[in-house]
């Protein structure tokens, strides 16, 4: 009953599950006051699941593929692109300076200079 309350399940569902696990040898009763031991836990600790192994191999292959590519080539393209953007920005600044707004002066600021 205590386990059923803890996991918010009915008493019957918990008893059926516990009995099934005991019959399959996956659960052992340690003491008479309802302490249980999951027999497969020591085998599972530190073991790798099939999905984890597949993911690990995928990451290794991906890393190997990336290491075969020339990272310096990619960086050069990025640097060139940045240099082009900087040059364009400088050209725009020069155009803005040439096309700067006229300065008005005089007592009423109506004379263009």
Q: Which residue has the higher pLDDT, 36 or 79?
A: 36
What's residue 82's pLDDT?
Answer: 66
Q: Mean of the pLDDT values across residues 62-83? A: 65
The mean per-residue pLDDT over the stretch 17-39 comes to 83
Q: How far apart are CA 95 and CA 88, in angstroms?
A: 11
CA distances from 73 to 15, 67, 99 (A): 65, 13, 39
Average pLDDT over residues 24-51: 79
Cα angle vertex 93, ends 90, 95, to 5°?
A: 110
Q: For residues 36 and 18, is the Cβ–Cβ distance under 8 A?
A: yes
Exposed, middle or buried by CB within 10 Å (0-12, 13-18, 19+), for 3? Answer: middle
Q: How confident is the model at residue 76 (pLDDT cuts 50, 70, 90)?
A: low
């Amino acid at each position: 009953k205590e386990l059923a309350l803890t996991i918010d399940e009915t008493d019957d569902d918990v008893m059926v599950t516990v009995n099934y696990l005991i019959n399959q040898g996956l659960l052992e009763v340690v003491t008479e006051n309802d302490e249980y031991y999951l027999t497969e836990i020591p085998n599972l600790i530190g073991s790798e699941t099939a999905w984890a192994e597949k993911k690990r191999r995928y990451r290794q292959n991906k890393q190997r593929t990336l290491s075969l590519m020339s990272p310096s080539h990619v960086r050069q393209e990025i640097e060139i692109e940045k240099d082009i953007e900087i040059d364009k920005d400088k050209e725009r600044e020069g155009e803005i300076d040439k096309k700067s707004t006229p300065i008005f002066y005089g007592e009423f600021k109506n004379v263009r200079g």
